[in-house]
Amino acid sequence: MQALRDAVTCAVCSEVYQSGIREPLALPCGHSFCRMCLDAVKRTGNFLCPNCRQTHNNVNVEQLSVNYALLSVSSACPDVKVTPN
């Protein structure tokens, strides 16, 4: 069950993915994070993947693809709650 929680949760803010500002966006490296966190990371000027630290140059957050697979799993499992370890 922990793996499912991890899959539907943004690794930066620990919020469950959902449509809107918390929808998962896929970076070119393949990792996904919520729109709100990627907007914040982009504003810092150092656009590194929070997971693998790969540099992404000239990436427009608004043009990143929504990771619909993660979004659909998150929507299909509304009872999955993130609990502290």
pTM above 0.95, yes or no: no
Cα–Cα distance, 53 to 44 (Å, whole number): 14
Cα–Cα distance, 22 to 29 (Å, whole number): 19
> Is 75's pLDDT higher than 80?
yes
Q: Which domains does the chain have, with CATH numbers?
A: 2-76 (3.30.40.10)
Tokens of 18: 């959902």
| Per-residue pLDDT tens digits for 8-55 | 899 999 999 999 889 999 999 999 999 999 988 777 666 788 899 998
Cβ atoms within 10 Å of 26's Cβ, excluding its own: 16
Name the residue among 17, 21, 10, 29 with its Cα closest to residue 68. 17
